Amino acid sequence: MTSAENKLWYDYLRLDKNRWLRQKPINNYIVDFYCSKLKLVIEVDGVTHLENKDIISDQNRTKKLEELGLKVLRFWNPPNPLC
């Protein structure tokens, strides 16, 4: 997991009253975080999602997950300028 994913997991999701899973396989995808009770997927996107082909792939992925009745939240994880 990236540092942003680690922070989201350890500071929030693992403490939530709802059960969250990390790196959950759903069909042909592996989502960053998933809560079955909420039917919610959380994706944390970094610089590997900036190219046009990756943007289109993410859009298709979101569409397929939504067709399964899931809500997909995507958050941008910008690169750390100090690294």
65 DSSP assignment: H
pLDDT, one tens digit per residue, over 17-48 is 999 999 999 999 999 999 999 999 999 976 56
Backbone angles phi, psi at 21, to 5 degrees: -115, 145
- DSSP, collapsed to helix, strand or coil, labels residue 47 as helix
Candidate CATH numbers 3.40.190.10, 3.30.70.790, 3.40.960.10, 3.20.20.140; the one for domain 3-76? 3.40.960.10
pLDDT, one tens digit per residue, over 58-82 is 889 999 999 999 999 988 876 665 5
50 DSSP assignment: -
What stretches of the chain show up as alpha helix (H) in DSSP? Answer: 3-11, 52-67
pLDDT of residue 68: 97
What pTM does this model have? 0.83
- DSSP, collapsed to helix, strand or coil, labels residue 44 as strand
